[in-house]
Structure 1
Amino acid sequence: MRSLFACLYAPLFLAGFLALALWTTAHYPPYWLVALLLPAIALSFLAEAWLPYEPQWNRPRGDRLRDGLHALFNESLNLAGVAAIPLVAAWLPNLGAWPEHWPLVLQLLLAILIADLGLTLVHYLSHRVDPLWRLHAVHHSVQRLYGFNGLMKHPLHQTIEALAGTAPLLVLGMPERVAALLAFTVALQLLLQHSNVDMRIGPLRHLFAWAPVHRFHHMKYGRAGDVNFALFFTFWDRLLGTAFHSDYRMGGDDLGIGSRPDYPRDYLAQLAEPFKAQPHGTSPEAPTGLHRA
């Protein structure tokens, strides 16, 4: 039973909630997707409790309130962004090229592909451009990986990512309901990407950037973690030359920012940290098993 669950969890989670989201959007206003996100978060937590990849990551480290505040504020930003689309669109050139005659599911897939490219490039640059890294470091300071980590971002960095992902779509004329579906799908993917479920995705790792792929991005060993940047699709990393996979089993001691073990852990301190002078420490050496990989 557990083996079957490990294989089916990720694809059924994404496909099931996407199907519900498409049905909801076809019958109700887009803001109803907020209500649909709550059971997705609850199911994510239940799955992590039943079949954890690393049991220690299910134990809070004084981070529940902080992660909850990050999630609440950042999801509120997403909602505000969707609500502001008509206003933003009025300021942007509109090519009127969006294929509104396509089925809604194909419109969503097109939006995901375009947004994923913009998000991946900003993520890649955030590991190479110091001002962006200062903001992005908040996300990498986590000491355990579980679903909520995907929503733990500095709001300014999230805004930059959102602009990179959605501005081309708005110029093409993306409708508001597709934007709402895109925001919902991003939230689902973040839950899967940072999940502590011991999922077994087999060949799907060559397509989807789920937890078994993305965990290596959170390694604390200096540049070793500069891999697997994509949010949705791993083929972007293959094009960038940053795709990585290994049988190495990540543990609690492998996570974080190796050169900043003292990185602030409180919510307000994390919001302020990117604007302070940054100490430069030395990252620890990667373990032997990871070197072999």
Structure 2
Amino acid sequence: MFPLSETFLQTSTLFVELASTEFMRYILAATGLHVLLNSGLRPFALRRRIRSDQPPKGQIRREILTSARSVLVFAGISLAAVWAVKMGWAQVHQDPDTYGWPYFFLSVAILIVGHDTWFYWIHRLLHDKRLYRRWHHLHHRSFKPTPFTAFAFNIGEAALHGLYTPLVILLLPVSYLALFLFSIHMIVRNTIGHCGVELFPSAKSGRPFFDWLTTVTHHDLHHASPDWNFGLYFTFWDRLMGTEHPDYLKHFAATRTSLSSLETVGEKSTARPISKRMGLGAAVMIAACLTSLSADADQSAAELERLSGSWVSEGYGAVVKLHSCNQPPTELCGTLIWIWSPQSQQHLGIKMLWGFRFDGSGWRRGEIAIPGRNQVFRSDIQMIDLDTLQVKGCAVIVCKSQIWRRLDSLPHVGLPR
């Protein structure tokens, strides 16, 4: 159906999945924090904002676009890492308890501390005047950073940052769960560090309560004064190498009051309405989601009933019976019940289509298998009329469509129904 080699298809599909996952992780973390600080926590954020003015118009759009490009670079490097694991050059295991739970937690700590070290020295290298303009200047165009600044890198800088994980797994056996926790920690700390609102608590002395962690002020000062504060998660490299901003603690104390002040008498009148507004907003969102899910389920069930039955592929090559995958009926599947090729009779009864969900206009983001070819493609199904379907299969950017017809509407006999 689609003349692409299996290796190319698997590689292309994996690249798309890696890029999609990485971008979703970035956009959810950045958008979630941005929305939170500009809605439910807005009074809190206004009192703890590091800069008094907002980023210039168009900055966030530029940051998202350049971050999307960085994600493509990360995905390409991750793809190489996946093949390294398949070839046995790197050790990544499914069971987090393979070497015992103490080692699992140690491996997570090594990933995080090692990344901070890698970032610090790569970051200092990129500030060399011979590299800065071509390799790092783009990130510093965000003089007033936002959560979306997190991945706004030049291509070369993105590649250097993306190399860390593949290099580590060549040396250190880790589990997929450890890598997942490390990646979540990385994007959360990265977006928080660029959010422009001091979220870290302070001690009574005015110093950061967790003085060994980089606060939001710590990294914000780097965007204001690029010759200082190169660390990502921890302050010890900056302090050891003398690159921490000399007025960092003064800036932290000036832009920040203790988070515990929300619980003091003077702040209770502010904290309670914020909690109530957030609680009310969450309740409204949950109710809206439940209502939407219920409506979507009813619509999916109705569309499944219209679609159920036997359908003949283009050229009378096969008959596929479409039906619900689950209960309540929300997903569309298809079982092969007849095929023209005598060499493919052993495939009768296989699930040929699965995972399609109705989005209001058609069945999207499912998968379709080609019997006997060991090939699986992303697919969409559009119902043209009661007896006609358009079935589209895609491999990366190459797509082809077929017209399927309902078996009962055809004059031909002798095919199973």
> Match for residue 247 of structure 1?
250
1:128 positional shift = 2.2
Counterpart contact for 2:144–2:223, Cα < 8 Å: no
User: Do residues 136 (structure 1) and 136 (structure 2) align?
Assistant: yes
> Match for residue 115 of structure 2?
115
2:80 and 2:114 map into 1 onto residues whose CA distance is 20
1:115 and 1:235 map into 2 onto residues whose CA distance is 13
**Cα distance per residue 1:152-184 (max 9 Å; x no partner):** 111221111222465134322334443343233
Question: AA paired with 1:101?
Answer: G
1:205 and 1:217 map into 2 onto residues whose CA distance is 19
Question: AA paired with 1:88?
Answer: A
**Cα distance per residue 1:72-102 (max 9 Å; x no partner):** 2323433444444231356896589x98423
List alignment gaps of at least 5 residues for structure 1.
Answer: 1-28, 252-293
**Cα distance per residue 1:82-133 (max 9 Å; x no partner):** 444231356896589x984235444222211112211111111111261255
User: Do residues 61 (structure 1) and 57 (structure 2) align?
Assistant: yes
1:139 positional shift = 0.7
Percentage of identical aligned residues = 19
> Match for residue 238 of structure 1?
239
Counterpart contact for 1:193–1:211, Cα < 8 Å: yes
Q: TM-score, normalised by structure 1?
A: 0.62
2:112 and 2:146 map into 1 onto residues whose CA distance is 23
Hey, which of these two has a bigger chunk of strand by percent?
Answer: 2
Within a 5 Å distance, the mapping from 1:187-226 to structure 2 comes to 187-202=187-202, 203-204=208-209, 206-220=211-225, 225-226=226-227
Question: AA paired with 1:229?
Answer: F
1:91 and 1:230 map into 2 onto residues whose CA distance is 34
Distance 1:67 1:186, change over 3 A: same
Hey, which of these two has a bigger chunk of helix by percent?
Answer: 1
> Match for residue 170 of structure 1?
170
Question: AA paired with 2:82?
Answer: P
User: Do residues 48 (structure 1) and 48 (structure 2) align?
Assistant: no
Point out which structure has higher relative CO (alpha carbons under 8 A, 6+ apart).
1
> Match for residue 127 of structure 1?
127
2:69 and 2:198 map into 1 onto residues whose CA distance is 28
Counterpart contact for 2:145–2:196, Cα < 8 Å: yes
Q: TM-score, normalised by structure 2?
A: 0.45
Distance 1:189 1:79, change over 3 A: farther
1:120 and 1:166 map into 2 onto residues whose CA distance is 18
> Match for residue 149 of structure 2?
149
1:66 positional shift = 1.2
List alignment gaps of at least 5 residues for structure 2.
Answer: 1-17, 203-207, 256-417
Counterpart contact for 2:85–2:91, Cα < 8 Å: no
User: Do residues 73 (structure 1) and 73 (structure 2) align?
Assistant: no
Q: SS at 1:192's partner residue?
A: helix
Question: AA paired with 1:232?
Answer: Y
Counterpart contact for 1:205–1:212, Cα < 8 Å: no
2:142 and 2:184 map into 1 onto residues whose CA distance is 23
Corresponding residue pairs, total: 217
Counterpart contact for 1:86–1:176, Cα < 8 Å: no
Counterpart contact for 1:209–1:230, Cα < 8 Å: yes
RMSD: 3.5
1:194 and 1:160 map into 2 onto residues whose CA distance is 20
